[in-house]
């Protein structure tokens, strides 16, 4: 982005900046946002204009005296708000990837404005009346399958905003929405502040004990970026701290780093999130009751494949038992390793990854550090592109002539058969100004309602960068994350629908992870790794025997991985089935639920409540979705294995047509059946995670 202004009076200064690139027609190639011209001062006046224009567009729909039709109500709603949407896409992507105090101040100011603006639209009695009449007559309107899905979504949005309520409850719904928007922003900013505040500086060789060279190199680069040149440093980014916990021989430093990691959002003081979570839960429960739902979970699951908390709990507990049992067996192995080395202590949470790596290396002769030397970031990006080419005929061409919001971002033009599909941006490296985690978002959705609009999507990662002049090396988990997020990107890029509200990833929350988790399967296949996993020094391909050893160890430590995930999913569900969360003791509740399910004391849930970003956003009562989707992805990839060819053309075409291209144009269950011919079972999932005996070799 262009030079950032430092004045606190962004609104006053920006009105003197004419023209404002955010509200102009974008004449950049592919109509990419003109990042090189946008200044922070431009945002507030642009939002003022965007809100005002959207209000006028909505007012025109409301004033229309013609009988309600799909064209003059739903098509019109789909067409309006374009200016506000594109300004929002630029701002909120920037707020997540390269934020600062000025951007955060704007973010806090915008949160209640967006909530008020949305509720004004979705509580409008006249507009709701027109939508409701169409909804009740939908079977007589001769609508396409996609149009029915769009209409049902709009009707649900109006109902869930309180459009059908009496004036008093309707007003309270608006108040709740405004307050939740503020709390969500505060939660996210507090979490980022806690992550930015911690840096574990490793001063000398003793502090580096046990760390392989690739991890040392990444830690050296992190230290240099954090102002500790010549030393090494660990941050709370997962790609930094997890390898440290896995290899550091310094138990005292592992404990220090681990405790800081799990304490995010719960350190007391200004950035503590526990009171925020308690208030959010109480407001969600109240909103659900106003809408006639038993709990917040019942409301959240209305638009999902699972439908009810009972169905979610059944799936979670079906897997919890085998996972808990396997984790117990793993714990005994690790404790034996501790004692064999002369350790006179009980295994603790900060020890698990370290001793698991030792046991795995001893049993399977595999070392994550060894495979990491073969997983160069650029090669794994190329592998993800190559798989997309083989499955879907896509070609990716890097464009270094286009504006980007940060110098580290890469841009690729995506084509198929010479025809443009869209733009893909990759933002791969961790930096203090970026929120943790990995995600896919974008600046434009595919649609045909307003013309042949091609998508612009971005993958955001937080990989630890290698030393200057040296390649960035990934762990196997990092490489899976890259493939996972690229699966989401393909869901956006390959979308082939008419209406933007059902474009790309706009699907049921427990279906959205299917395209991403399914795509991970191709990474670890020998057909891919033997081509793209090459040693960063010698250039030699990864030895087949090393791949065989890693495949043999594939299910090692799966009890731990499944338990830490399931515990978080179970706690998420139990939080949202509370009928009244007012005054809840967050720490006490977390401990009570974990005690009830007999959580192993040596394992910590993957996301503790005070930093559980998923449940503050679109995954409230929905963290189970990863497991629900995994049932489908294990079953779906089994189809390719059964065909004998992981790039089977006919299967790939069905996968494209019914999963990646279909968006939300049909119900998720129908889409899956159209691809697979039936609904999935949990058996391939349990087999994939090694929680049941494997079937015959395929």
* CA nearest to 608, candidates 349, 429, 240, 431: 349
Identify whether 485 is a catalytic site residue: yes
Give dist(CA 623, CA 320) in Å, integer: 15
Q: Is 532 within 8 Å of 499 (Cβ atoms)?
A: no
Q: Is 86 within 8 Å of 443 (Cβ atoms)?
A: yes
Q: Is 108 within 8 Å of 182 (Cβ atoms)?
A: yes
Peptide bond between residue 19 and the one before it cis (omega within 30 degrees of 0): yes
Lookup: tokens for 50: 């965007």
Burial class of residue 138, CB neighbours in 10 A (0-12, 13-18, 19+): middle
Three-class DSSP category at 626: helix
DSSP state at residue 579: S
Burial class of residue 540, CB neighbours in 10 A (0-12, 13-18, 19+): exposed
* CA nearest to 601, candidates 381, 350, 432: 350
Q: Calculate ∠ Cα 554-556-561, nearest 5°.
A: 100
Spacing of C-alpha 175 from chain mean position: 28
Neighbouring residues of 101: CB distance < 8 A, sequence distance ≥ 6: none
Cross-strand bridge partners of residue 420: 415
Give dist(CA 267, CA 196) in Å, integer: 13
What string of H, E and C letters represents the secondary structure of 369-422?
Answer: HHHHCCCEHHHHHHHHHHHHHHHHCCEEEECCCCCCCCCCCEEEEEEECCEEEE
* CA nearest to 613, candidates 623, 603, 604: 623
Give dist(CA 511, CA 386) in Å, integer: 25
DSSP state at residue 336: H
Q: Please give the sequence-ordered ranges of beta strands (E in DSSP) within 403-484, or none if there are none.
A: 410-416, 419-429, 439-444, 456-463
Secondary structure element (H or E) that encloses residue 674, with its range: helix 668-676
Q: For the CA atoms of 18, 22, 25, 28, what is the dihedral angle to 10 degrees? A: 110
Cross-strand bridge partners of residue 422: 414
Q: Is 663 within 8 Å of 671 (Cβ atoms)?
A: no
* CA nearest to 207, candidates 241, 239, 246, 249: 249
Catalytic residue of the set 485, 520, 574, 590: 485
Secondary structure element (H or E) that encloses residue 201, with its range: strand 200-202
Q: Rounded to 5 degrees, what are φ and ψ at 160?
A: -75, -15
* DSSP result, 494-508: T---S-GGGSTT-S-
Give dist(CA 267, CA 263) in Å, integer: 6
Q: Is 502 within 8 Å of 143 (Cβ atoms)?
A: no
* CA nearest to 421, candidates 404, 446, 442: 446
Give dist(CA 48, CA 15) in Å, integer: 11
Cross-strand bridge partners of residue 412: 398, 424
Three-class DSSP category at 522: helix
The residues carrying an active-site annotation are: 485
């Amino acid at each position: 982005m262009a030079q950032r202004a430092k004045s606190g009076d962004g609104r006053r200064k920006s009105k003197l900046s004419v023209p404002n690139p955010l509200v102009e027609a974008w004449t950049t190639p592919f109509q990419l946002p003109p990042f090189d011209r946008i200044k922070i001062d431009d945002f507030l006046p642009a939002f003022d204009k965007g809100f005002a224009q959207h209000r006028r567009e909505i007012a025109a729909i409301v004033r229309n005296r013609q009988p309600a039709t799909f064209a003059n109500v739903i098509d019109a709603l789909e067409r309006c708000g374009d200016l506000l949407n594109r300004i929002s896409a630029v701002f909120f992507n920037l707020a997540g990837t390269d934020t600062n105090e000025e951007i955060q101040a704007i973010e806090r100011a915008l949160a209640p404005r967006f909530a008020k603006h949305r509720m004004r639209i979705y509580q409008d009695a006249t507009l709701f009346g027109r939508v409701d009449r169409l909804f009740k007559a939908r079977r007589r309107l001769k609508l396409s399958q996609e149009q029915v899905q769009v209409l049902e979504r709009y009707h649900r949005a109006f109902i869930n905003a309180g459009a059908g309520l009496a004036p008093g409850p309707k007003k309270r719904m608006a108040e709740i929405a405004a307050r939740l928007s503020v709390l969500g922003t505060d939660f996210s900013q507090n979490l980022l502040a806690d992550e930015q505040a911690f840096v574990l500086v490793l001063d000398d060789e003793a502090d580096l004990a046990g760390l392989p060279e690739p991890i040392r190199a990444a830690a050296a680069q992190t230290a240099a970026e954090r102002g500790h040149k010549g030393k090494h440093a660990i941050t709370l980014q997962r790609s930094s701290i997890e390898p440290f916990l896995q290899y550091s021989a310094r138990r005292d430093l592992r404990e220090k780093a681990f405790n800081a990691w799990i304490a995010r959002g719960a350190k007391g003081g200004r950035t503590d999130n526990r009171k925020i979570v308690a208030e959010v839960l109480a407001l969600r429960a109240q909103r659900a009751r106003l809408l006639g739902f038993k709990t917040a979970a019942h409301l959240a699951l209305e638009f999902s494949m699972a439908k009810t908390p009972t169905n979610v709990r059944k799936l979670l507990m079906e897997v919890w038992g085998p996972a808990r049992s396997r984790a117990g067996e793993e714990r005994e192995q690790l404790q034996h390793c501790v004692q064999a080395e002369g350790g006179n202590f009980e295994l603790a949470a900060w020890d698990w990854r370290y001793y698991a790596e030792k046991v795995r290396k001893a049993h399977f002769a595999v070392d994550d550090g060894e495979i990491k030397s073969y997983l160069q970031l650029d090669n794994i990006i190329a592998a993800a592109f190559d798989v997309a080419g083989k499955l879907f005929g896509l070609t990716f061409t890097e464009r270094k002539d286009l504006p980007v919001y940060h110098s580290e971002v890469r841009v690729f033009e995506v084509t198929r058969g010479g025809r443009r599909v869209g733009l893909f941006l990759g933002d791969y490296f961790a930096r203090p100004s970026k929120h943790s985690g990995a995600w896919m978002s974008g600046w434009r959705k595919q649609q045909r309602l307003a013309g042949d609009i091609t998508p612009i999507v971005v993958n955001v990662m937080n990989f630890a960068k290698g030393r200057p002049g040296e390649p960035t090396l990934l762990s196997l988990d990092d490489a899976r994350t890259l493939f996972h997020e690229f699966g989401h990107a393909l869901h956006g890029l390959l979308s082939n629908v008419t209406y933007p509200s059902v474009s790309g990833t706009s699907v049921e929350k427990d279906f959205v992870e299917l395209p991403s988790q399914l795509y991970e399967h191709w990474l670890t296949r020998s057909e891919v790794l033997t081509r793209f996993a090459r040693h960063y020094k010698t250039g030699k391909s990864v030895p087949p025997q090393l791949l065989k050893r890693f495949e043999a160890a594939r299910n090692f430590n799966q009890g731990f991985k499944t338990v830490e995930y399931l515990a978080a999913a179970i706690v998420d569900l139990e939080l949202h089935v509370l009928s009244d969360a007012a005054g809840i003791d967050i720490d006490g509740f977390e401990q009570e639920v974990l005690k009830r399910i007999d959580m192993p004391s040596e394992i910590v849930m993957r996301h503790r409540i005070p930093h559980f970003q998923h449940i503050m956003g679109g995954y409230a009562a929905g963290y189970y979705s990863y497991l629900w989707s995994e049932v489908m992805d294990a079953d779906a990839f089994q189809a390719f294995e059964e065909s004998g060819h992981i790039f089977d053309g006919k299967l790939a075409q069905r996968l494209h047509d019914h999963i990646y291209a279909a968006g939300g144009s049909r119900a998720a269950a129908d889409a899956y059946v159209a691809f697979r011919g039936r609904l999935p079972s949990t058996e391939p999932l349990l087999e994939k995670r090694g929680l049941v005996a494997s079937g015959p070799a395929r």
